[in-house]
Amino acid sequence: MAKTAEATINPDILVWARETVGFSIDDLADKIKVNPEKIQAWESGQARPSIAKLKQISDKLKRPLAVFYLPYPPEDMRPPRDFRGLIEGHAGFYSNRLHVELRLAEARREDALNLLAELEEQPSEFDFQASIDQDPELVAESLTRYIGVEPETIAQCSDIYEARKLWKSSIENRGVLVFQANGVPVSEMRGFCLGVRPLPVVVVNSKDSPQAQIFSLLHELTHIALRQDGLCDFDEELPRDGESQRIEIFCNYVAGAAIVPAKALLSHEIVLGQDNYESWSNHELKSISRTFHCSREVVLRRLLIHDLTTRDFYSKMRESFVQEYKDFEENKKANSFPVAQFRKVINRNGYYFSRLVLDSYTREVITGSELSRLLKVKLKHLPDIRHALQG
């Protein structure tokens, strides 16, 4: 029987690639179905993996095959600044899955830049800048004008999914990649961004509601406007250092003001017809939130900012919103419905990146197998993906 071809890799690179995604030896062994002793032997240089096993390792660690043959590790992305609140088991914690999603975001950006170079095209330059010393209301107004989203346009969206698509595509059209992270608990991460230019990146959590994802988009986009990376949970009630708290409050403020502009809120018929600003019914908050395609909490926070409710009422209602969300999370699996594969692919990779890969395939810059690798999809789904991207 012919001997299986071995991969003459650099063992140090294997150690580096495993550790940078947060995998233990046991984790990797479990992923590729081998004994941990084999991984130890490969990493010590006492043995070599087969080329077939190296391909599995490459897939699980999200690294190109060629990396494992380098003499030393390439310069890697440093993790984004951690703005998450300081709670036990949370602060500074990166699960294996979060490590993978951070690496995937960077890898997709690198792939996008390489494809654009092959196509001899230049990426759009996101050149909007903001300062934390500016008025967040004015920053939000300038930001939405910059990306071309008007309150009237959002109000005309038929549902929250159309509104989310409009926000995403408008942001992407300005030279920002938008992706979705899968498999990361919302309690660990609501969103993160990579502020590097060109093609900065915003990543939202697929486990979040569409309303929360829209808020994440604008919150992370504000970090990018501040020329920052960020890993966020958005909860202002949690303790964090003074500078981080100030930045998070600013980004939350801008996101809320972008989604619910002051002028549109104050001229809303329900607000104009309100007699008692101290309290708002659930029905009123829902009606206003439907206009802006956002959560009731965002609406109530905007009302509080404009002195149209009290801090006590806001705090009481926020507690009920948090409890409702917990109940929703517990029952989500039972109430969930299947999502078409082509839709998952577009949500995960974003409209811009998906179109770029398809365009590269159509123009014969990449092969079908490369398309499958870049979008993580079988070619049989290509007609549905193409049709959805044209819609």
Q: Please spell the DSSP secondary structure of 55-97, one letter per residue.
A: HHHHHHHT--GGGGGSSSPPP-PPPPPB-----TTTTT---HH
Tens of pLDDT, residue by residue over 172-185, are 999 999 999 999 98
Dihedral angle of Cα 131, 122, 357, 198, to the nearest 10 degrees: -30
> Facing residues of 82 across strands?
231
Whether 353 has a pLDDT exceeding 80, the answer reads yes
CB 233 within 8 A of CB 192: no
Q: Which of the pair, 274 or 299, is modelled with greater confidence?
A: 299
CA distance 356 to 361: 9
For 21-66, how does the pLDDT look when each residue is reduced to its tens digit (9 = 90+)? 778 899 899 999 999 999 999 999 999 999 889 989 988 887 877 7
User: How confident is the model over 68-122, as pLDDT tens digits?
Assistant: 888 877 665 566 777 666 554 455 677 888 888 988 898 899 899 999 999 999 9
pLDDT digit string (tens) for 329-341?
A: 777 666 667 889 9
| Chain segment 188-200, per-residue pLDDT in tens | 889 999 999 999 9
- The structural domains of the chain, ordered by start, are 11-69 (1.10.260.40), 342-390 (no CATH)
Q: Classify residue 2 as exposed, middle or buried by CB count within 10 Å of its CB (0-12, 13-18, 19+).
A: exposed
Q: What's the length of the chain?
A: 391
Q: What is the mean pLDDT of the chain?
A: 89
Looking at residue 240, what is its pLDDT? 59
Strands (E) across 210-272 are located at 230-232
Alpha helices in 280-381 (DSSP H): 282-292, 296-305, 311-335, 341-349, 351-362, 368-375
What is the CB neighbour count within 10 angstroms for residue 205?
A: 22
Q: Which amino acid is residue 321, in one-letter code?
A: F
